[in-house]
Amino acid sequence: MILLAAFAFLGAVLGLFWRPRFVGVVIAVVLAGVVQGVAAWSLQILSHQVNREHLLLQMHAVFGETLIDFAGPVAAAAVGAVFAALLGGLTDARRPPVLVTADGLRRKAGKDGRYARMEGMVEQREIHARAESRIDSILGL
């Protein structure tokens, strides 16, 4: 259980801080696989030594006995790294911030991709004033 948490934390740290992020995920999985592989290899060598029972029990308690036990921490490192990379990508401070200005609020792009005119950009004409007065009289304003 401790190994699962340690590798998940290691994967999360590498997935979050390594650039590019997918390389951090790969490094976390490879590093966890190497550690687990070395542990499995050490347990195989240790099983042929004399007076090994107590040490083997302790090592199996930490690293596990079966292939599924060895794959758990590697999977925890992969999941931690992937989630950290995805969430870190959403909150990346290196992207330019989105600024909302008053000009951006008033000038909206139309269907043709051009901006609409802001208030004060259009000169007042007589025909506009008459149309506006007709609408105001119909609405009772």
Rounded Cα distance between 48 and 96, Å, is: 59
Rounded Cα distance between 23 and 81, Å, is: 10
pLDDT in tens, 61-91: 888 888 888 888 888 888 888 888 888 877 7
Q: Specify the higher pLDDT residue, 61 or 106.
A: 61
User: Per-residue confidence at 141, pLDDT binned at 50, 70, 90?
Assistant: confident
Distance of CA 60 to the CA centre of its chain: 34
User: Could you tell me if 43 and 56 are in contact, meaning their C-beta atoms sit under 8 angstroms apart?
Assistant: yes
> What does pLDDT average to over the chain?
80
Q: Specify the higher pLDDT residue, 127 or 90.
A: 127
The predicted pLDDT at position 34 comes to 92
Rounded mean pLDDT, 98-117: 61
The predicted pLDDT at position 88 comes to 82
The predicted pLDDT at position 117 comes to 60
pLDDT in tens, 23-57: 888 898 899 899 989 988 988 888 888 888 888 88
The predicted pLDDT at position 5 comes to 85
The predicted pLDDT at position 113 comes to 63
Domain positions in the chain: 2-90
Rounded Cα distance between 7 and 85, Å, is: 15
3-state secondary structure 62-78: HHCCCHHHHHHHHHHHH
Q: Specify the higher pLDDT residue, 11 or 141.
A: 11
